[in-house]
Amino acid sequence: MGSCQRPKRVRSEPLKGGGHLRRHRQYRRDAPFVLLFLAPSLAGFLLFFIIPFGAVAYYSIIDNPVNGNLVGFDNYRALWASGSFRKAFVNSLMFAGVSVPLLFAVSLGLAMLLKGALPFRQTFRSMFLLPMVVPVASIILVWQTLLQWNGAVNGLFLKWGVEPVDWMNTGWALAVMLLVFLWKNAGYNLIVFLAGLANIPAEQYESASIDGAGAIRKFRHITVPGLAPTSFFVIVMSIVSSFKVFRETYLVAGPYPYDTIYTLQHFMNNMFQALDYPKLTAAAVLLAIVIGATVYVLFAAERRSRRALEQ
């Protein structure tokens, strides 16, 4: 009696493009719920950011808000012809170029110290975070008490027989504002770097130690690549913070500070008080373009470096 063989089951392959159609249908079903959840954030972003910036961009190409005559780029030409704007523009770029690398180095150095077996680590972390929770006005009152002409620092100088220094009306003004900027923002970057260092596997350092790698080689080949995403985030946020240092400078030195710390925010504030809306709006648009272009370049560099590491 011959054996009867069971016919083989032929697996039916899915139709070409079926997965794409299913995903498309799923997206269409989920889209209303996604938009519903995003609606409050999108409405707030549109109302408080997109529409005001569009209005500023429109005001920068008209003669004034009353007449509304289109003048094109005449406001930008008049703005660049202003010596006070050029000084503020150069000072803002110089402050960002100096403060951001300095803040990055200080914050990373502090994070490396607090990551190790340092006594009173939690106390030091709390101390560096205090400037973040203290109001800016209170911080400035402390700095004024320390650095004004009759302040505590000059009082110590007189006691030691040293000539007092007019800190905010000499070349020291930039150093003072850099110190305030570091003191105000180092705590935030410190916490971000500590989180990034915690995500680097300890096994990598142990393997490097077994292979005889020293501290410098570990830092170059383990810490720096491991902190690449964190470093990118810190740099972007530091650049944005460097262009927002106006509050501290204004409260310490007033609307017309020493030349080295006269920034774009001072210029725009003074144009607002003078009701010079063409220069004010043109300066605001140029500042947004500079910050946006800088962040775009950083994103491109970050993508290129990530691809190089993946190869």
DSSP state letters, the chain: -PPPPPPPPPPPPPPTTHHHHHHHHHHHHHHHHHHHHHHHHHHHHIIIIIHHHHHHHHHTTBS-TTT--B-TTHHHHHHHT-HHHHHHHHHHHHHHHHHHHHHHHHHHHHHHHHHSS-TTHHHHHHHHHHHHHS-HHHHHHHHHHHHSTTSHHHHHHHHTT-----GGGSTHHHHHHHHHHHHHHHHHHHHHHHHHHHTS-HHHHHHHHHTT--HHHHIIIIIHHHTHHHHHHHHHHHHHHHTTTHHHHHHHH-SS--GGG--HHHHHHHHHHTT-HHHHHHHHHHHHHHHHHHHHHHHHHHHHHHHHHH-
pLDDT tens-place string over residues 193-245: 988 988 888 888 888 888 888 888 888 888 888 888 899 899 988 988 888 88
Q: CA 57 to CA 284: how far, in whole Å?
A: 8
Superfamily for domain range 82-310: MetI-like (1.10.3720.10)
Return the pLDDT at 19. 59
Query: Looking at the whole model, is its pTM more than 0.75?
Result: yes
Return the pLDDT at 20. 64
pLDDT tens-place string over residues 110-137: 888 888 766 767 777 777 777 777 777 7
pLDDT tens-place string over residues 256-271: 888 888 888 889 888 8
| Predicted confidence (pLDDT) at residue 103 exceeds the cutoff of 90 | yes
| Predicted confidence (pLDDT) at residue 280 exceeds the cutoff of 50 | yes
- Span 58-81, average pLDDT: 87
| Predicted confidence (pLDDT) at residue 171 exceeds the cutoff of 60 | yes
| Predicted confidence (pLDDT) at residue 104 exceeds the cutoff of 90 | yes
| Predicted confidence (pLDDT) at residue 251 exceeds the cutoff of 80 | no
Cβ atoms 92, 263 nearer than 8 A: yes
